[in-house]
Amino acid sequence: MDLATVIGLVLSLGLVAAAIVTGGSPVVFISVPSLLIVVGGTIGATMVNYPLDKILGTVGVLKKTFFSSLESPADIIEKFMDYANRARREGILSLEPVIKQLDDFYLRKGLQLTVDGLEPQTIQEILETEIAYLEARHEVGAEISATLGMFAPAMGMIGTVIGLVQMLQTMDDPSSIGPAMAVALITTFYGAVLANLVFNPMAGKLKTRSKEEVLLKEMVMQGILSISKGENPRIIEEKLSSFLPPRDRKQEVG
């Protein structure tokens, strides 16, 4: 559970709601037709922009990145120290039974290729392709969210222009101008809130999560390649701990 997302949404949307309620007569801010044109138009434009399977896939990516707990880098280092020591003592084939029990698809594939005795160069090519396309799939989620955040204010603006044109045509009664403009501005309000408090920040989080996951995959790849080259466990530790901020590292003995 990503608490920051929940707290952030509650905080920003709550403050907007409070500003509306304390200003009196919040009824004007609730308009189903305005919501329909902004949300529906935004979704429509996004459907033209992306293939259906990508849009549906985003729901999965969204859920996964908001709930899944990534492994800690320190655990990865420890795991690889263990593999490396075992491979050194008992030979690379002793990793076979370990592989069978692994959940992580990527790690399992990499170690299996190592045990099968492929060249480190070939393993690196395969694992880098995996990372590149994992990244591409995650980026689509962030891009779709950013696209929603780009079309939402545009739809809000289109809704407001429609409202203004309708109002300007019938300016007979000056007292009706104010309320009509208020109504016209509601789509602008919806578009701005959806873009700035929901879609754009979520696109940002998807991007950050993707970077974190790619970082872990790169650590795992580095570890697998080191084992495949039969490198010294101490060097493996040095290499992998370079990925971490100094304060998260095991006390390194100088």
Q: How far is the CB of 210 from a second copy (least distance, A)?
A: 12
Report residue 232: phi and psi, to 5°.
-55, 130
Does position 117 bind a second copy by CB under 8 A?
Answer: no
DSSP string, 182-219: HHHHHHHHHHHHIIIIIIHHHHHHHHHHHHHHHHHHHH
Task: Mark 201-240 with x for binding to a second copy (rule: CB under 8 A) and - for no binding.
Answer: xx-xx--xx-xx--x-------------------x--xx-
Under the binding rule (CB under 8 A), the answer on residue 68 touching a second copy is no
Which residue, 67 or 245, has its beta carbon nearer to a second copy? 245
Q: Rule CB under 8 A: is residue 149 a binding residue for a second copy?
A: no
126, 239 contact by CB (below 8 A): no
75 lies in the binding site for a second copy (CB under 8 A): no
Q: How many residues bind a second copy (CB under 8 A)?
A: 112
Q: How far apart are CA 224 and CA 7, in angstroms?
A: 38
CA distances from 201 to 36, 148, 160 (A): 22, 11, 24
Q: From the CB of 172, what's the least distance to a second copy, in Å?
A: 8
Q: Site mask, a second copy, residues 84-113, x = CB under 8 A? A: ---------------xx-x--x--xx--xx
Between CA 88 and CA 94, with CA 91 as vertex, the angle to 5 degrees is 115
